[in-house]
């Protein structure tokens, strides 16, 4: 699974720490999601999508082989 969190963050001009605070997780979690080392739960993914105001599919993209 790929994700565009880094790009969306740049659009909104917020840091990892700020995003983490908005959805009540640690900065490590945001970092590991961005670098594809951790797959978030559906709830967390929906929260992230809500922060960016976009549908889920524009932020998280299924890859071949998933």
- Region near another protein per CB under 8 A, out of 38-46, 48-56, 58-66: 38-46
Q: Establish if 22 lies at the interface with another protein (CB under 8 A).
A: no
Q: What is the DSSP letter of 3?
A: E
Q: Establish if 13 lies at the interface with another protein (CB under 8 A).
A: no
Q: Establish if 18 lies at the interface with another protein (CB under 8 A).
A: no
Q: What share of the chain is helix, strand, coil (3-state, %, to 5)?
A: 60, 5, 35
Q: What is the DSSP letter of 10?
A: H
* Residue 64 near residue 4, CB atoms below 8 Å: no
In the complex, the residues that contact another protein under the rule CB under 8 A are: 15-16, 24-29, 31-32, 35, 37-38, 40-41, 44
């Amino acid at each position: 699974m790929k994700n565009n969190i880094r790009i969306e963050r740049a659009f909104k001009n917020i840091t990892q720490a700020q995003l983490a605070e908005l959805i009540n997780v640690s900065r490590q979690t945001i970092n590991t999601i961005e670098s594809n080392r951790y797959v978030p739960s559906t709830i967390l993914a929906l929260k992230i999508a809500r922060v960016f105001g976009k549908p889920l599919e524009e932020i998280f993209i299924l890859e071949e082989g998933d």
